[in-house]
Amino acid sequence: MLGSVHEWRVQVGGDEIRAVLDLADKDEPRRLFVFAHGAGGHMADRGMLALTSQFCARGLHVVRFNFPYRQKGGRQPDAMPRLQECIAAVASRAAEEAAPQQLIIGGRSMGGRAASMLAADRFACAGLLLLAYPLHPAGKPEKLRDRHLPRITAPVLCVNGTRDSLCRRALMDDVINRRSTNWQMHWLEGADHGFHVTKASGRTDADILDEIGMTTAAWLSSLALRLPQA
């Protein structure tokens, strides 16, 4: 069970959204992750809660929130600039309220993509955590969403499944090798875009979640001596 101890209402332009802070099980150093949901999800969907539990168990405070379209009950995502504006507003509020030593931004799929574009515009953060980054639309590998990636200077951990229909491994490896620095890529063997595995893989979804948690914890340790970017 998550320990949500703070709930905020955050203004994003003319809209008000809901954000929740889940405290980590331990608090040294004080790291906080602003965690954006995917296009078809919301701040309290099963995947968001499962990942949040993993992060909190490994010392990472998490702020979950709804994008404006989801707060209104809609299914059509807001335009990308609006998504970026929302993440920036939540991150700024979280930094003010929680005063973390390290502020990390990112999210699942679309939410991670929006955070990566914000980081490419030099939004101040200690790191970028991307979960199931959507490198291209399903079935359209020629339409890469990679143009902004070379501009990201913050440390990046990107976690994708090897069966992700929105991120062909060969394409992502090529993009990172040619265009990005300071980028750690972790592949989850047999996992799809939702981080699910088949019974034939010999693994369970719980195994995948645990691998994400352990990988994230190791990456966080590498950020121990880094300060948030100015």
Phi, psi of 105, deg, nearest 5: -120, 160
pTM of the model: 0.94
Coil/strand/helix, residue 3: coil
pLDDT (tens digit, 0 to 9) for every residue of the chain, 230 residues total? 455 568 999 999 999 999 999 999 886 678 999 999 999 999 999 999 999 999 999 999 999 999 999 999 999 999 999 999 999 999 999 999 999 999 999 999 999 999 999 999 999 999 999 999 999 999 999 999 999 999 999 999 999 999 999 999 999 999 988 766 789 999 999 999 999 999 999 999 999 999 999 999 999 998 865 444 44
Please answer whether residues 65 and 41 qualify as being in contact, where contact means their C-beta atoms are separated by less than 8 angstroms.
no
- Is it true that the peptide bond before 29 is cis, omega within 30 degrees of 0? yes
Provide the pLDDT for residue 2.
58
18/68 Cα distance (integer angstroms): 9
Domains belonging to the chain, first-starting first, are 4-222 (3.40.50.1820)
HSE-CB for 151 with a 13 A CA cutoff: 12
Let me know: does 31 contact 101? Beta carbons within 8 Å.
Answer: yes
pLDDT given for residue 25 in this prediction: 87
- Give backbone dihedrals phi and psi of 104, rounded to 5 degrees, phi first: -115, 135
Between CA 230 and CA 228 the distance in angstroms is 6
State residue 1's pLDDT score.
43
